[in-house]
Structure formats: structure tokens, C-alpha cells
Amino acid sequence: MSLHTTAASLVSLAEGAEKGGNHESLSPYITGGGAFVALLLLLWITTRFNRDR
């Protein structure tokens, strides 16, 4: 394979052309909200174990 064909196939793979594009089931609001809740949970756990007594 030449460099040009390898780069072209990697670009099409990164764009998701072979898998059909974007998934309709993945909502950015649900994903962002879930990540926000997970980070808040990690912050709460960290502060619970980091008390100076």
C-alpha cells in the first residue's frame, strides 16, 4: 500500500464512513449529563477521603 491510499483509508475510517456515520441513539445531552454526574461523584468521594481531622 502506498502512503496516499493508507492515509485515505484512515481518513474514511475516522469519519465513520464505513460504519454508517453518527448514531441516533447517542444524545449529547445524556452523554454530557452522565459525564457531569460521574465527575461530581468522583469529586464527592475524593473530598470524603481527604478530610484533615
pLDDT of the residue at 27 = 84
Q: What is the pLDDT along the chain (53 residues), one digit of tens a residue?
A: 687 888 888 777 777 655 555 666 778 899 999 999 999 999 999 998 887 65
CA dihedral 9, 13, 14, 18 (to 10 degrees): 140
Amino acid identity of residue 11, one-letter, is V
**pTM of the entire predicted model:** 0.50
pLDDT of the residue at 8 = 81
Q: What share of the chain is helix, strand, coil (3-state, %, to 5)?
A: 65, 0, 35
**Backbone φ, ψ for residue 21 (5° rounding):** 90, -150
Amino acid identity of residue 15, one-letter, is E
What is the separation, in whole angstroms, between the first and last Cα of the chain?
Answer: 64
